[in-house]
């Protein structure tokens, strides 16, 4: 931070910003990229699509393997990525796990794009 | 409307959809995942952020290396990914290439999320 000549800029807003200074900081960008990593897979997009289309608002993992033509371990891996990214909520009931969209999560991702 | 009694389902729409059938087809999902792959990198998010913040609406590649603290070949690679994904427009003028946001491209990505 240059102390001269005067005004006192906010810590993240240098007074003489070089052209091209990133509006998005490195740490924030790293955090925001995580959710796009979760979305950057066709099977995960399809899983979100299936769960969203379910009238009950949730899908049993047992209903998710068939449409994707993938084994349950692979589907479970993709579901875990979506849960870890905050896009899906997982609830274990009896034998099966049930997945639902985290309310507002996809809107939040759209918000990231709007505020880039 | 199904022409009963002998319905002829579309190839990707079986007549008796099992619970959980993907609303999003495999090919469409593959295509849509590409743009999220482009966004799934912190440096690329920062590049979009810099270009968007530029009052002139475009950034010279020579202004993009400094803020990211990356070499020009790396920055050029990331910019190419963003151009290939349809997010950035590239125009060569003289020595330098200039990058601008493709109008509506980020809104289109938000639209993908809304229509999953």
Please name the member of B23, B40, B67 whose beta carbon is closest to the beta carbon of A40: B40
Domain of residue B75 covers 26-114
ipTM reported for the complex, 2 dp: 0.80
C-alpha torsion B77→B80→B85→B89, nearest 10: 150
Locate the DSSP E strands across B1-116.
59-60, 88-93, 96-101
Is residue B71 a part of any domain in this protein? Answer: yes
3-class secondary-structure state, position A47? helix
Q: What is the pLDDT of residues B66-85, one digit of tens each?
A: 888 899 999 999 999 999 99
Is residue B95 a part of any domain in this protein? Answer: yes
Percent of chain A residues topping a pLDDT of 70: 81
CATH number at residue A76: 1.10.10.10
Query: Tokens 């740490």 map to which residue?
Result: A27
CA angle B18, B20, B24 (to 5 degrees): 110
Distance CA B67, CA B53 (A): 13
pLDDT tens for each residue of chain A, 116 residues long: 444 444 444 444 443 345 555 579 999 999 999 999 999 999 999 999 999 999 999 999 888 988 888 998 999 999 999 999 999 999 999 999 999 999 999 999 999 999 99
CB B59 within 8 A of CB B75: no
Residues in chain B predicted with pLDDT less than 70, given as ranges, are 1-22
Q: Does B72 touch chain A (CB under 8 A)?
A: no
**What pLDDT is recorded for position B10?**
45
Is residue A88 a part of any domain in this protein? Answer: yes
Q: What are the chain B neighbours of A52 within 8 Å (beta carbons)?
A: 23, 116
């Amino acid at each position: 931070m240059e102390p001269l000549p005067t005004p006192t800029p906010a810590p993240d807003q240098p007074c003489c910003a070089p052209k091209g200074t990133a509006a998005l900081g490195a740490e924030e960008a790293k955090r925001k990229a995580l959710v796009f990593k979760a979305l950057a897979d066709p099977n995960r997009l399809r899983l979100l699509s299936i769960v969203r289309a379910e009238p009950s608002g949730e899908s049993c993992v047992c209903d998710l393997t068939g449409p994707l033509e993938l084994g349950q371990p692979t589907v479970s891996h993709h579901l875990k990525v979506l849960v870890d990214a905050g896009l899906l909520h997982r609830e274990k009931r009896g034998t099966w796990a049930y997945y639902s969209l985290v309310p507002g999560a996809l809107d939040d991702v759209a918000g990231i794009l709007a505020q880039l």
